[in-house]
Amino acid sequence: MQPCPKPEPKSKERAREKRHEAAVIKAVRAHVSARDGYCRARMVGTCDGRDEWAHLEDKRRARTVGMAPEERHTANDSLMLCTRHHDDYDEGRLAIFKHSPMGAEGHLAFYSYRLRRFYTETSSGVVQMTLSEIRAVAALILHGALENEL
User: Hey, where are the domains in the chain?
Assistant: 10-142
In this prediction, residues 11-20 reach a mean pLDDT of 86
pLDDT in tens, 105-140: 988 889 898 888 888 887 777 777 777 777 776 776
Q: What is the pTM of this model?
A: 0.76
Start-to-end C-alpha separation, the chain: 76
Residue 39's pLDDT is 95
pLDDT in tens, 59-118: 676 666 778 888 888 899 999 999 999 999 999 999 998 877 888 998 888 989 888 888
